[in-house]
Structure 1
Amino acid sequence: MGEATALVVDFGTSASSAALVTGGQVRLLKEPASGLYSWPSAVALEGDRLLVGTAAERRKRSDPAGYRAEFKRDLGQSVPVPLGERAYAPQDLVAAVLGVFRDRAAELHGEPVHRLLLTVPASYAEGDPRRALMVAAGEAAGFPEVQLVAEPVAAAFAPVAGAGFGAGQVVLVYDFGGGTFDAAVIRCGADGVHEVIGHAALDDCGGRDIDALLARHVRDAGGPELAGTLAAGGADGLAGLRMRLQGAAAALYGIGGTTPGGG
């Protein structure tokens, strides 16, 4: 394995993506189950193992209590995440997702990849315990070397229409993801070394929160018939959970055919 080989993972609240970088060449990791480059940041318990991504999304139909997504926002909380009759620390669920990326990268590369570059919100400042939890998740997934990259900095590396950013240029990056909203001022440096001059973040303003507002609007505008249906689903805990998951999927994928963002 060359020294330049690394797995780069954009771990988002609702979806994640990864790329294998070897000798300056970039290969995006396609999820075998869906054929897409965007993997759901979701897990589901099946027996003694955790399913990840699309496999977890399929599993939730039969066992919604054993399914969980959007656990990135639970990082730093002491309360474990319940999955069926078990409970997991949020960083352990992050590690499960990263482990699937590790296995897929090893298949493509022909041998294990030891270096992980992992994106985190700019709000994860130095000293924030969530940084240590993300590093621990990467190590638990089998990466001896884990480096964190602020999401707005990673976005500044992305190809742009027209001429790219030159050294010394200052740009404003908005990062609206599934769980957070970040705005950062980035100074582009030479040799691809960018600097975060300043940033502000809202940890409670992401796609997840927009979904909640939309769900509230649908409930309020649906009239007595819809209210009665939702109340009936809530009478049975498992049935109510299944209905909420199905409703969330309809809101995400059924309106305009869009897919959720990462972030």
Structure 2
Amino acid sequence: MSDEIAIGVDLGTSYSCVAVVQDGQPMVIPNEWGELNHASCVSFLDDGSVLVGNAAKKNIIAAPEATVYSAKRLIGRYFFSDEVKKAQAVMPYTIVEGDNNAVRIQVHGQTYSLPEISALVLKEMKAVAETYLGREITKAVVTVPAYFNDNQRQATKDAGRIAGLEVLRILNEPTSAALAYGFGRDVNQRVVVYDLGGGTFDVSILEIGKDVFEVLSTAGDTYLGGDDFDDRIMTWLAEDFLAKTRLDLRQNKYCLQMLKDAAERAKIDVGQKGTADILCQGICQDANGNVMDLRNTLSNDQFNRMVMDLVQRTFKVCDEALQSARLSASEIDAVILVGGPTRLPIIRNSVKHYFQKEPLEGINPDQVVALGACLQAHALLDAHAETFLVDVTPLSLRIGTVGGYTEKVIEKNTPVPIDRSKTFTTSRDGQEKVKIRVYQGESNRAEECEMLGEFEFSGFRIGYRGDVKIEVTFEIDTNGMVNVSACDVETGQKTTTTLTLSSGMSETDIQRSIDATRQIQLAGHSSDLPSVA
């Protein structure tokens, strides 16, 4: 057994969590104030230092333009995507376009990539662990939504590198939760992990045997989460205030942030107490300069009507996962709930109704993913570990063909790692090179899939159209990330590429970010390592 330590990090949309295995048991690591969950929030201060975590979240209202949150919803996406357009409409910070259609955040005249923002959250998790354990931490398993595509996984791995962490594995969040659930138990069950986080929803179906965790299927929606529940309350509050005062709070980003904060608190209160009394003091001024308050009451029935369509969207995803696994809800032995929003009675009751069984009690939905991640991290460092994990690729992998179409090479929910080849031919006489475009998605139309990247292959034999055969091989590793190679079948001429275009960061960009991040002082943390106890 190595004396190395690797941590597990649940890098969430709203909150992040870090855990480690000590004395054979997984545990969530507290910060110096005893906090176990940390807001995935980064606030850039005027003096050049950076606040990360719960302290940064307090700046959402005080300094909204300089405080970045929900960045996970944007990581690995293209600037022209619908998700980015939606974020631009509601986020107080500035979202701009970078090279290769990448998304950048602009604060105090500086631009940051999404991996750099996530790296600051990971760096904070690293610092929390180092302070508690009294030693340097350089290795981690980091979790992502099961339905993240290759772009998003690569960008997350880049974030780990920038933060000074060797990412041993990118692990799917539902799979991680199942690892934590199955740890130390002698169970033989089919389980569903219903994972509703702040910004994403995933469901995975797993077969758990002794030390074997096999994912049968996964499905998800990377733009559905607790934030959307907050948005519904915000809209209701704003429209009610508009009807009463003829003032639209949504036109002012400061007011919008007060609304968001009030909506999140109301969601929690209505879940815990069945009603929420909402008060935003001094939210705005009327035309005569009079300071106005916002007061309202949200009942459980009102809230349920507000969000029921969002809840139903999660069960369409559950339908898809069950169909892929060729199972019915009655064949599921246990249901694990993951993510803070699953504490809401409407979620728990709806899940119980859909699966016809009570969700498992005694599992902390905020911490179970981090606990599973640290168990996997521990197993990867232990040569004698017996845990065997079989995951799947969540999306079909495709290659672009003529006419704007795609052809499937690897089916979604195929166990990984895997490699698969397909042979194509040249499309015109005398062709000297081919452009190979790689997509993920379920449509045969290229425009309806996510393009992971493209590369050119040349040096093959020149011949007539259809005469030259080119074999394209896809490899998906245990992180769910894609490598592609092309080979001239006749001559053996070959080229290989790793599709890393999608995160918008070249190797030079990453090295520059590593150097820049080293200079950033996380407020509240010493730049020196703590003394080893």
TM-score scaled by length of structure 1: 0.84
Q: d(CA) in 1 for partners of 2:126 and 2:109?
A: 27
Supply the AA of the counterpart residue of 2:75: L
Match of 2:139 among 91, 110, 115: 115
1:180 is aligned to 200
> Are residue 82 (structure 1) and residue 81 (structure 2) matched?
no
SS of the residue aligned with 1:194? strand
Q: In the aligned structure 1, how far is the partner of 2:237 from the partner of 2:122? A: 35
CA distance in structure 1 between the aligned counterparts of 2:25 and 2:180, rounded to whole angstroms: 15
Report the identity percentage.
28
For structure 1, which runs of at least 5 residues remain unmatched after alignment?
Answer: 235-239
- Report the CA distance between 1:255 and its aligned residue: 4.7
Q: Which residue of 1 aligns with 2:374?
A: none
- Aligned 1:17-96 pairs, distance under 5 A: 17-32=17-32, 35-46=34-45, 47-77=47-77, 78-96=102-120
Deviation at 1:254, TM superposition (A): 4.0
Deviations 1:176-227 (A, max 9, x none): 1111111111121432x42221111112221112222222222333452355
8 Å contact from structure 1 (residues 5, 23) kept in 2 = no
Residue-by-residue CA offset, 1:31-72 (whole Å, 9 max, x unaligned): 335x32111010110132321012212233432110111000
Q: Which residue of 2 aligns with 1:129?
A: 151
In the alignment, the residues of structure 1 paired with residue 267 and residue 155 of structure 2 have an alpha-carbon distance, to the nearest angstrom, of 35
Q: Distance in 1 between matches of 2:209 and 2:8?
A: 20
Which has the larger strand fraction? Answer: 2
For residues 214 and 226 of structure 1, the distance between their equivalents in structure 2, rounded to whole angstroms, comes to: 18
Give the distance between the partners of 2:148 and 2:60, measured in 1 at CA: 31
- Structure 2 stretches lacking a partner, 5+ long: 78-101, 273-339, 342-365, 370-533
* Matched ranges for 1:230-241 at <5 A: 230=249, 234=251, 240-241=252-253
SS at match of 1:142: coil
State how far apart, in whole Å, the 1-side matches of 2:229 and 2:246 are.
20
Q: CA RMSD in A?
A: 2.6
Query: What letter matches 1:166 in structure 2?
Result: V
Q: Taking structure 1 as reference, are residues 110 and 152 closer, same or farther at Cα in structure 2, changes over 3 Å only? A: same
Which deviations, in whole Å up to 9, do the C-alpha atoms of 1:57-103 show, x marking residues without a partner?
Answer: 22334321101110001111312022243221111111101101111
Larger radius of gyration: 2
**Which whole-Å CA distance do the structure 1 matches of 2:268 and 2:116 have between them?**
34
Among candidates 85, 97, 101, match of residue 125 of structure 2 = 101
Aligned to 2:190: 170
Of residues 241, 264, 276, the one that matches 1:252 is: 264
**Contact preservation (8 Å) 2:237, 2:259:** no
Equivalent residue, structure 2, for 1:194:
213
Q: Secondary structure at the match of 2:127?
A: helix
What is the SS of the residue equivalent to 2:159? helix
Instruction: Name the SS for the 1:27 alignment partner.
Output: strand
Distance 1:61 1:179, change over 3 A: closer
Alpha carbons of structure 1 residues 165 and 213: separation in structure 2 relative to 1, 3 Å:
farther
Equivalent position to 1:206, from 194, 217, 225: 225
Distance 1:3 1:211 in 2: 44
- Counterparts in 2 of 1:170 and 1:5: CA distance versus 1, 3 Å: same
Number of residue equivalences: 249
Residues 110-156 of structure 1 deviation map (CA, whole Å, 9 limit, x = unaligned): 2112220111111125xx12111111111211112431111111111
The change in CA–CA distance for 1:244 and 1:84 in structure 2 (over 3 A counts) is farther
CA contact (8 A) 1:219 1:226 kept: no
